[in-house]
Amino acid sequence: MRRPFIAGNWKMNLDRAAAVDLARELIKQLGDADAVDVAVCPPSVYLDAVADVVKGTCVGLGAQNMYYEKNGAFTGEISGSMLADVGCKYVILGHSERRRILGETNEDVCRKVHVAFATGLIPIVCVGETLQEREAGKTFHIVREQVYGSLAGLKAEQAGELVIAYEPVWAIGTGVVASPEQAEEVHADLRNALEARFGGVLAAKLRLQYGGSVKASNAKELLAKENIDGALVGGAALKASDFVPIIEAARP
């Protein structure tokens, strides 16, 4: 049985004091959270502060992005080794906002995935279609294209800890959520795509998250689906009172 994994993407929100307070409140409310893996992904400038709070607790630390070079003259970028150095376990890669706003390609994401594994980080690789692509019947094609492109050249033995987050672009931050049936349909096809790429044993092991306006009111129904193993949560991760019920909904 795949262990549920709930991650909070704080995006470009909060200040230092609020980030620290949120991390402390999460730990206080969660207790041991022994049946669910939990992570928070603060803005990079607050990673160090939040790392001090979550160290040794049930809450893991993740970053929202990284660069694909180890070091060098890349002003404004952050390397995987730097993230590992401040205590990160996870890194979100290929989020639709970075693909759409900043022009990241599957090739960019793929380079980052390889470097993440090389530096001991677990990548949370995001895939998902736009509303126009869904209406054109291209959902499965787009998601598979992103998965295959973002994981190109990755060996099965490397991919054991990989996490994939399906986030339909039309549901991110809009208040619109894919129905549990719509989400499960894509997750099932995604697992089939992973089986074709890495084999059935690994595909059955890899965790697939859903993201896109996840909240306490819809989490239980989404997480009950066979191929949905967790959630990548945006807005609802910014308050412990909203985020903790989603984590509770993931408990087996």
Does the annotation count 167 as an active-site position?
yes
Element (H, E) at 37: strand 37-41
Whole-number Cα distances in Å, 134 to 60, 128, 143: 33, 10, 10
- End-to-end alpha carbon distance in the chain: 10
| C-beta neighbour count of 141 within 10 angstroms | 12
95 is catalytic: yes
Task: Give the active site residue among 104, 129, 167, 184.
Answer: 167
pLDDT at 117: 96
Per-residue confidence of the chain (252 residues) as pLDDT tens digits? 899 999 999 999 999 999 999 999 999 999 877 899 999 999 999 999 999 999 999 999 999 999 999 999 999 999 999 999 999 999 999 999 999 999 999 999 999 999 999 999 999 999 999 989 999 999 999 999 999 999 999 998 888 899 999 999 988 778 777 899 999 999 999 999 999 999 999 999 999 999 988 999 999 999 999 999 999 999 999 999 999 999 999 998
Give pLDDT, residue 173.
Answer: 76
- Return d(Cα 140, Cα 142) in angstroms, integer: 6
Question: What is the model's pTM?
Answer: 0.97
Among the listed residues 95, 97, 104, 184, the single catalytic one is 95
Write the CB contacts of 113 (distance below 8 Å, at least 6 apart in sequence).
93, 123, 125, 150, 151, 154, 162
Write the CA distances from 61 to 58, 80, 90, integer angstroms.
10, 13, 6
